A and B are shown apart, each in its own frame.
Chain A
Amino acid sequence: SQQGEEDPQALSIQEGENATMNCSYKTSINNLQWYRQNSGRGLVHLILIRSNEREKHSGRLRVTLDTSKKSSSLLITASRAADTASYFCATDARKAAGNKLTFGGGTRVLVKP
């Protein structure tokens, strides 16, 4: 099974509302990253949080990391229709897992105008 698992799988909200999605992982990590994918496009990096950080902000994005629970959350505040996309977490695990970034299954977010 994948290292990162997102929850929920899909989310539908009204414009202006906040969107929260979670990611759980299994092994120790160096960092955790969040990516966005618009329909039919490649992934775009949003934010990276290191294992020794607990919270990070970037514009309307807020990411938290709880290494004791092996989980992270991504909050998008004041959502816009343009935020409609799939969001993926990716974990950079320690060397024992190999030199690879492992992606979760993603959360599909629909922001209705």
Chain B
Amino acid sequence: NAGVTQTPKFQVLKTGQSMTLQCAQDMNHEYMSWYRQDPGMGLRLIHYSVGAGITDQGEVPNGYNVSRSTTEDFPLRLLSAAPSQTSVYFCASSANIPGLAGGPSYEQYFGPGTRLTVT
């Protein structure tokens, strides 16, 4: 298994440009999520999905869109890039859906990250 893959690894955008960060997993995980990590900080949740066709907002969703047309893929779209979106972006997946009382508990698998710079 390749696990969670992310492309590209690095990207430089100009303000106002749009792009899509790709994320794919081959573990048949229901739950996928996108985080951003700013220097010296923890991860902040952008969007998440509990299954194909279902997405929801996280802590910092503004300026980002997601879709989940298949179990495997969970792309993150930046609609109009801003310097404040300069960050490292991580995609993660899990066999477990967090928040379900009494449900099974599984780890999150993280991709290697995409380092995005917006000038």
Which residues of A does B touch, CB under 8 Å? Answer: 2, 4, 30-31, 33, 35, 40-45, 48, 50, 88, 90, 92-95, 97-106, 108
Contacts and interface: CB of A to CB of B under 8 A. Distances in A.
Contact of A104 (B42, B100, B102, B111): B42
Interface residues of B, number: 34
Contacts of B105: 30-31, 48, 50, 92
Given A88-B43, A98-B99, A100-B48, 15 more contacts: A30-B103, A40-B113, A41-B112, A43-B90, A48-B105, A48-B106, A88-B42, A95-B99, A95-B101, A100-B98, A100-B99, A101-B94, A103-B45, A104-B42, A105-B41
Given A100-B48, A104-B42, A48 B107 contact: yes
A21 B89 CA distance: 25
**Which 7 pairs, one residue from A and one from B, show the smallest C-beta to C-beta distance?**
A45-B107, A42-B110, A105-B42, A99-B99, A103-B43, A92-B98, A95-B99
